[in-house]
Chains A and B, each alone.
Chain A
């Protein structure tokens, strides 16, 4: 082979290569990062779909009546409001 290597290269090479298992164990965040990323993506997608589905539909008459009943608005208040308007 017409090549050479730096002095003591193969000793240092073996040390560096033998260190791979412990290095990989120390820095093996990849599965956790992937899990966190997929969770964030699912959350964002769900939020987006929810926002879009509620924003696109106008409230029906039933929704408005239900809202007024739940908010405790009386018929008198409604009549006043219509009259004022």
Chain B
């Protein structure tokens, strides 16, 4: 048990900040990212006994985080649908001015464009663009083939480009 706790704390120390930015890029708001990070690390702690020492902790951690984030985004969409707000309105909500947004107008538009992407495309785009992960790493995390990921990224890239060219 002590060994597990030591390993858990090591994961927290090494990856929590990087994981925060990954989650933040996916969900937009600081409060959502903070809540989600707590949930992710609770899942990590519970799953720790099943972690095999020979696998890469980074990939394992990112896989849990990715599943939790996608599930969070799905729930947010259901909540938005139940409250009759539109998905693009939700995307605007997370991208619009908030106290912890530092970017200029161009970055805000980029954020809005990314927030409007479907979950899987947003995930691939975020992992490539912000996290700077290779297709091979993303493939290991998501269980999707490199070819499919390249296609997803290309489509996402084109959508973002089109949005930035003509936001309306």
Binding site for B on A (CB under 8 A): 1-6, 10, 13-14, 16-18, 20-21, 24
Q: Name the distance in Å between B96's Cβ and chain A's nearest Cβ.
A: 13
Binding site for A on B (CB under 8 A): 4-5, 8-9, 12-13, 16-17, 20-21, 24-25, 30, 34, 37-38, 41-42, 45-46, 100-104, 107-108, 110-111, 130
Chain B residues in 8 Å Cβ range of A3? 21, 24, 30, 100-103
Say whether A1 contacts B42, CB under 8 Å: no
Task: Choose among A6, A13, A20 the residue that contacts B8 (Cβ–Cβ < 8 A).
Answer: A20
Say whether B20 contacts A13, CB under 8 Å: yes
Chain A residues in 8 Å Cβ range of B42? 20, 24
Say whether B103 contacts A21, CB under 8 Å: no
Say whether B13 contacts A13, CB under 8 Å: no
Residue from A3, A6, A10, A18 having most chain B Cβ neighbours under 10 A: A3
Q: Name the distance in Å between A4's Cβ and chain B's nearest Cβ.
A: 5
Chain A residues in 8 Å Cβ range of B12? 14, 17-18
- Complex CA gap A76/B5 in Å reads 82
Q: Name the distance in Å between A66's Cβ and chain B's nearest Cβ.
A: 58
Nearest A residue (CB) for B29 = A3
Residue from A1, A17, A20 having most chain B Cβ neighbours under 10 A: A17
Chain A residues in 8 Å Cβ range of B17? 10, 13
Beyond A1-B24, A2-B110, A17-B38: 12 further Cβ-contacts under 8 Å?
A: A1-B25, A1-B130, A3-B101, A5-B100, A10-B16, A10-B17, A17-B12, A20-B41, A20-B45, A21-B4, A21-B5, A21-B8
